[in-house]
């Protein structure tokens, strides 16, 4: 079964430290993965997607098919990065996005 796992419910790091939010998936085929973010009192919004291979707000994510991972990384965390982060996997067969449980990122000053 297709599944997305975010093993950390909470991640707390100091400002300026590197951040890595973990996402593991199970999928047969070539996956397309997304990271969505929800800042406090804001809506869920797309942060970045695998296919774009871009850096958004300093975040990058590399698809590692061998390890079936799509970890989100940022070299130097900023306080405004504090938010809930969700990894999501599209299942084209029924137009469904499969979501991880989310990781709450807290950046300490």
- DSSP code for 78: -
Is 8 a binder of another protein (CB under 8 A)? Answer: no
Three-state secondary structure call for residue 68: coil
Measured CA to CA, the distance from residue 78 to residue 35 in angstroms comes to 18
Q: Which is nearer to another protein, 49 or 74 (CB)?
A: 49
Q: Which of residues 38-97 bind another protein (CB under 8 A)?
A: 43-46, 49, 51, 86, 88, 90-92, 94-97
Q: Provide φ and ψ at 98, rounded to 5°.
A: -100, 130
In angstroms, what is the minimal distance from the CB of 42 to another protein? 9
Q: Which is nearer to another protein, 13 or 98 (CB)?
A: 98
Q: Is 87 exposed, middle or buried (0-12, 13-18, 19+ CB in 10 A)?
A: buried
Is 3 a binder of another protein (CB under 8 A)? Answer: no
Q: Which is nearer to another protein, 17 or 51 (CB)?
A: 51
Residue 22 structure tokens: 């973990």
Q: Which residues bind another protein (CB under 8 A)?
A: 4, 6, 9, 32, 43-46, 49, 51, 86, 88, 90-92, 94-102
């Amino acid at each position: 079964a297709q599944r997305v796992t975010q093993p950390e419910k909470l991640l707390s790091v100091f400002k300026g430290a590197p951040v890595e939010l973990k996402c593991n998936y199970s999928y047969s085929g070539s996956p397309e993965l997304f990271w969505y973010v929800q800042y406090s009192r804001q809506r869920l919004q797309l942060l970045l997607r695998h296919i774009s291979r871009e850096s958004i707000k300093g975040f990058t994510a590399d698809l590692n098919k061998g390890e079936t991972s799509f970890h989100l990384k940022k070299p130097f965390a900023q306080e405004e990065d504090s938010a809930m982060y969700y990894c999501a996997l599209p299942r084209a067969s029924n137009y469904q996005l499969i979501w991880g449980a989310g990781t709450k990122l807290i950046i300490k000053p």
